[in-house]
Amino acid sequence: MKRQEFLKTSGLIIASSLIGNCQGRVKKEKEVEARKGALRLSTTIYELQLRQAWTLSRGTWNTRRNVLVRLEKDGVVAYGESAPIPRYNESAESNQEFIQRALPVLEKDLWEYQDRWRELEALAPGQNAAKAALDMAILDWVAKSLGIPLYRFFGLDRNKTLPTTFSIGIDTVEVMQKTAQSVPAFRRLKIKVGVADDKKHIEGIRAVTDRPLVVDANEGWKDRQQALEMINWMAERGVEFVEQPMPAANLEDHRWLKERVKIPIMADESVHKIQDVPALASAFHGINIKLMKCGGLQEALRLVAVARAHGLKLMIGCMIESSLAIAAATTLTPLFDYADLDGNILINNDPFRGLTLDGDRWLLTDKPGLGVEPVIPEW
Ligand SMILES: [Mg+2]
């Protein structure tokens, strides 16, 4: 019933936006003739406001500064987003600078998107969130140019997207309990740990819900005995798996841990590119792939293939991101075992619209490209 209601509503939205697109297209075609092949690229640093302070084992934030990319070529407007990761020496400014440097790459043929990605990768090491934004915009452009949704371009079924977990940051037990109770539609909760009060927090959550939990230590446990004790204690309390128990570089201790834990451990901070995967296979049961960490959708697809070849479980995660980047990641979820794509739920000034939650599952529409549109007036 709920779903039917949604489909009815989204049908109306699609119909009205098609009228808008048709009008826009007539106007743009004339413009394009005058400047055929011209590329317009603009970037905006956009401050995302978090609904509540966001605390992980390594810090607390109230806002995050992401970079929004608008790419226009041959009359087709496409969008990308970077959520810079400070842990990897990225900032909104460094991402923006990389995007501007990439202009000569974007001026080439975007249909050859695989070559363009390799050229972006060769431009400079790191700045993977900026590469993800450009890769997202290029693929949005390709799919829009074909007039099909991006999940169709990838050959994926939008009815098979995964439910997402809802993440609860580190806070007082009372606040964490209240948050857990405020999101009954989410069938699986992800709890941030890696601090002295971890057991108190998990017991507090358990006192108010019996839903399955997953846990993310964000490298917070420094010692393998402590990590083993914590993970097996959590296994008894309905925790399904634990993300990144110890520091990323510490593969030896993760190998030791993998042989002893009662529930799977997943690599997050330890994995970036496909080259990382072979060494991780003996140290973890699975990996968490994030567009911002690996450099975009194309590298994420390669990571899926390589990780599966090594028998690893797969989750797809996110940073604090708007509906734009969350829509991009959602298109890939049919290839994964778990999805943690809730960054846009944690903010109160989402600059994109068009992604709708059905319970705890994002619904993708049949609009071309990523299927979302900006709410910022000047865009
Ligand atoms: Mg994580």
Are 285 and 182 in the same domain?
yes
Distance of CA 77 from the midpoint of ligand 1 (Å): 32
Are 179 and 134 in the same domain?
no
Are 171 and 138 in the same domain?
no
Asked whether residue 239 carries a pLDDT value surpassing 80, the answer given is yes
Cβ-based burial of 80 (10 A; exposed 0-12, middle 13-18, buried ≥19): buried
Distance of CA 60 from the midpoint of ligand 1 (Å): 15
Are 287 and 181 in the same domain?
yes
Are 125 and 159 in the same domain?
no
Average pLDDT, integer, range 309-324: 98
Average pLDDT, integer, range 164-179: 96
Distance of CA 121 from the midpoint of ligand 1 (Å): 24
Residue 282 phi/psi, 5-degree rounding, is -90, -5
Query: What is the model's pLDDT at position 37?
Result: 58
- Whether 20 is covered by a domain: the verdict is no
Distance of CA 150 from the midpoint of ligand 1 (Å): 26
Residue 240 phi/psi, 5-degree rounding, is -85, -40
Tell me how far apart the alpha carbons of residues 137 and 328 are, in angstroms, rounded to a whole number. 10
pLDDT band for position 179 (cuts 50, 70, 90): very high
pLDDT band for position 268 (cuts 50, 70, 90): very high
Are 134 and 186 in the same domain?
no
pLDDT band for position 15 (cuts 50, 70, 90): very low
Query: What is the model's pLDDT at position 115?
Result: 98
Distance of CA 116 from the midpoint of ligand 1 (Å): 29
Number of folded domains in the chain? Answer: 2
Distance of CA 15 from the midpoint of ligand 1 (Å): 39
Are 223 and 116 in the same domain?
no
Distance of CA 219 from the midpoint of ligand 1 (Å): 9
Distance of CA 286 from the midpoint of ligand 1 (Å): 12
Place of tokens 């987003």: 81
Q: Which domain holds residue 56?
A: 31-147
Say which CATH number the domain at 111 has. 3.30.390.10
Say which CATH number the domain at 196 has. 3.20.20.120
- What proportions of the chain, in percent to the nearest 5, are helix, strand and coil? 45, 25, 35
Average pLDDT, integer, range 324-347: 97
Q: Tell whether the torsion through CA atoms of 294, 295, 301 and 302 is positive or negative.
A: negative
Place of tokens 């846990």: 215
Are 168 and 141 in the same domain?
no
Are 223 and 314 in the same domain?
yes
- Beta-bridged to residue 213, according to DSSP, are 189, 239
Domain C-terminal end among 147, 168, 195: 147
pLDDT band for position 377 (cuts 50, 70, 90): low
Tell me how far apart the alpha carbons of residues 171 and 121 are, in angstroms, rounded to a whole number. 38
Are 181 and 67 in the same domain?
no
pLDDT band for position 77 (cuts 50, 70, 90): very high
